[in-house]
Amino acid sequence: MTIYNFIEPNIKYLVLSIDFGHPEFGDEIESNTSLDQINGFSCCWRIGKNREFEKIVIYLKNTREIYLANFLKKEKNGKKWKIYFNNTESIGSTNLDWKDFVNDGVQMQNSMRYIESLD
């Protein structure tokens, strides 16, 4: 299943590919912690200052699990941004790697996408 199987129409999403337990998560996360328990932030991302989004989709690289969170705010951290979120919940998993999951065919390994599904 691709990202488009998980999102709703007319909502702007920031989709992040993250290694679970990697220091880009703001909190110390042990490998046996469920992401459902996490409310916090992920750092550090190159995001256009005028980019808007309402929801965060998190694709865990090592397990291919998919989580959805509410976007709270972004905060400047040097040249990059911290993304704050809450109400994280598991919404499923996929057998696809990141490139195929975001369904863009792009060969570069950028671990972030902006997606808006229209009606």
Q: Concatenated DSSP letters for 4-69?
A: GGT--TT-EEEEEEE-TT-TTBSS---TTS-GGG--EEEEEE---TT---SEEEEEETTT-EEEEE
Q: 45-70 pLDDT, tens per residue?
A: 888 888 889 999 989 888 899 989 99
More confident site: 21 or 115? 115
DSSP symbol at 106: -
More confident site: 55 or 26? 55
45 in Cβ contact with 16 (< 8 Å): yes
Q: Is the pTM of this model over 0.85?
A: no
Q: What is the pLDDT of residue 48?
A: 84
Q: What is the pLDDT of residue 18?
A: 84
